[in-house]
A and B are shown apart, each in its own frame.
Chain A
Amino acid sequence: MIYALFLIFFSAMIANNILLVRFLGLCSFFGISNKIETSVSMGLAVLFVMDMATVVSWLIYYYLLLPFDLVFLRTIVFIIVIASLVQMVEMFLKKSFPFLYRALGVYLPLITTNCAILGASFLIIDFKYTLIESLVFSTAVALGYTLAIVMFAGMRQRLENAPIPESLKGYPIAFILAGLMSLSFLGFVGMFGLHM
């Protein structure tokens, strides 16, 4: 049991990293990875929302959609649930934890259209995970997201001063850098297997 959870955790965090191997949430990956500080905040916001979103969508899927034979409404229901969840979290944080709100505030609305969140909600259904497995999976996915985006931000800061051919400056070299990072994350596939 513990071993299975451990496998899910490391497979989701490293070998099948949500950004670099599964390609979910790339808009924010390239959009806000200019500074390490903002990347850390975004990672925390994703961790926060992803755990809640997967648990809520798991409960809705197995206790509402499946018993009433409404599986075809999955896409609509999940996106609405996630959008309203983000709004609720935002309001709750603003009122109860203003310091946390100041740290995450700007990033929360961005998360609504972050495909990593919705993607994780679909994946736990596709992989037929139990509730505990889903929670472990989503935590690992969010930690993997944070790990990748913070490392990427660090390297992009170094790139700014590097001598790069004119045409490759900016986004092209960032993509190639992401490719090389993806290659190194893919090295762990031998240990956990590719789980597309």
Chain B
Amino acid sequence: MLDRLRHYWKTFDNGILRENPILRLMIGLCPTLAVSTSLINSVGMGLATTFVLVFSNLFVSLLRKFTPNGIRIPIFIVVVSTFVTLTDYMMLAYVPELHKSLGVFVPLIVVNCIILGRAEAFAYKNDAVLSTIDGLGMGLGFTLAISTIGIIREILGNGTILGYSLFGASFNPAIIMILPPGAFITIGFLMAALNALTRKGEGGK
């Protein structure tokens, strides 16, 4: 029992740290860079992706015994796009403003490599419980990374956090950070910082 729980926990935290989709595996970059202009957009995108990831993992795993090997990718795509359409319309109904600012990137969750990648590499080979946990871990890892980028860009580029002003009116924000180049530069330095940290950790051993 304890072993089982430990195994679940390991699957869960795998996506958050060791195999973080953005900072480690470098997949799912397009939405990460495009919508991380503010914290709220990042969290919205992260949660939407997590939702799709959890349910597509669950259903791919449930259907894996009936899925012919030759046409598995089209089947994955249909499962994923069903949940993307659901998310798209739910967001349009309940959070229309967020839906508008995420724009074309909501339907584009369907081609987010994280989702098809996890379906192929994990859910197709594991049972439903484990696949759901993996989806949750990967999704939260994605949300965490995209939110970090969102916080940095919103503070530097707008001087606000969740819309609240941090530094008062005299602050002159670096608008470049919320423009496209800022996204590339932020993630570049974030990766470099992570590299430096892991290298230091390895050097200490």
> Do they bind each other?
yes
Give chain B nearest CB distance to A25 CB in angstroms.
7
Interface of B: prevailing SS? helix
B108 within 8 A of A: yes
Interface residue ranges of B166-205 to A (CB < 8 Å): 176, 179-185, 187-189, 191-193, 195-196, 199
- Contact B74–A176 (Cβ < 8 Å): no
Q: Specify the chain B residue showing the minimal Cβ separation from A175.
A: B188
Q: Give how many A-B residue pairs fall within 8 Å (CB-CB).
A: 119
CA distance A189 to B183 in the complex (A): 17
> CB distance A182 to B74 under 8 Å?
no
Which residue on chain B has the smallest CB distance to residue A87?
B74
Residues on A with beta carbons closer than 8 Å to the beta carbon of B116: 113
User: A186 — which chain B residues lie within 8 A by C-beta?
Assistant: 179-181
**Which chain B positions have C-beta within 8 A of A79?**
77, 81, 110-111
A73 at the interface (CB under 8 A from B): yes
Shortest beta-carbon distance from A75 to chain B in Å: 5
Q: Which residues of B contact A74 (CB under 8 A)?
A: 85, 107
Query: Which among B25-33, B56-64, B137-145, B154-162 touches the partner chain?
Result: B25-33
- Answer whether residue A68 sits at the interface, using C-beta atoms and an 8 A cutoff: no
B89 pairs with A72, CB closer than 8 A: yes
Contact residue range for chain B?
35 or more
Contacts of A126 in B (CB 8 A): 103-104
Once A27-B30, A79-B77, A167-B192 are accepted as A-B contacts, the answer to whether A179 and B184 lie under 8 Å apart by CB is yes
Q: Are B74 and A172 in contact (CB under 8 A)?
A: no
Contacts of A114 in B (CB 8 A): 111
Most B CB contacts (10 A, CB to CB) among A21, A76, A83, A196 go to A76
State A180–B110 Cα separation when bound (angstroms).
29
* Interface majority SS (helix, strand, loop, mixed), chain A: helix
- Give the Cβ gap from A196 to chain B, nearest Cβ, in Å: 7
**How far is A119 from B182 in the complex, measured between Cα atoms in Å?**
22
Give the CA-CA distance A89 to B199 in the complex, in Å.
46
Q: How does the 8 Å CB contact mask read for B45-86 relative to A, with 1 for contact and 0 for none? A: 000000000000000000000000000011001100110110
Q: CB-CB contacts of A102-137 with B at 8 A, as 1s and 0s? A: 000000000001110011001100100000000000
Verify A175–B185 contact, CB threshold 8 A.
Answer: yes
Shortest Cβ gap from A144 to chain B (Å): 14
Contact B104 A75 (CB under 8 A): no
B26 touches A30 (CB 8 A): yes
Question: Is A21 a contact partner of B110 (Cβ separation < 8 A)?
Answer: no
Pairwise interchain contact B113-A27, C-beta atoms closer than 8 A: yes
Contact of A179 among B77, B107, B110, B188 (CB under 8 A): B188
B89: chain A residues at CB < 8 Å are: 72
* Inter-chain contact A180/B33, CB cutoff 8 Å: no
A69 sits at the interface (CB 8 A): no
- A176 & B189 in contact (Cβ 8 Å cutoff): yes
**Complex Cα spacing A114 to B27, Å:** 12
Of all A-B residue pairs in the complex, the 10 with the closest CB atoms, nearest first, are A179-B184, A175-B188, A23-B34, A172-B192, A176-B188, A179-B185, A167-B196, A183-B181, A182-B181, A76-B81
Listed A/B pairs (6) with beta-carbon separation below 8 Å: A20-B180, A79-B111, A80-B81, A122-B107, A172-B188, A175-B188
Chain A residues in contact with chain B, CB under 8 A?
Answer: 20-27, 30, 72-76, 79-80, 83, 113-115, 118-119, 122-123, 126, 165-168, 171-176, 178-180, 182-183, 186, 196
User: 19 more A-B contacts (CB under 8 A) besides A115-B30, A171-B26, A172-B192?
Assistant: A23-B180, A24-B34, A27-B27, A30-B26, A76-B81, A79-B77, A79-B110, A80-B81, A115-B111, A118-B111, A126-B103, A126-B104, A172-B188, A172-B195, A173-B192, A176-B189, A179-B182, A179-B183, A179-B184
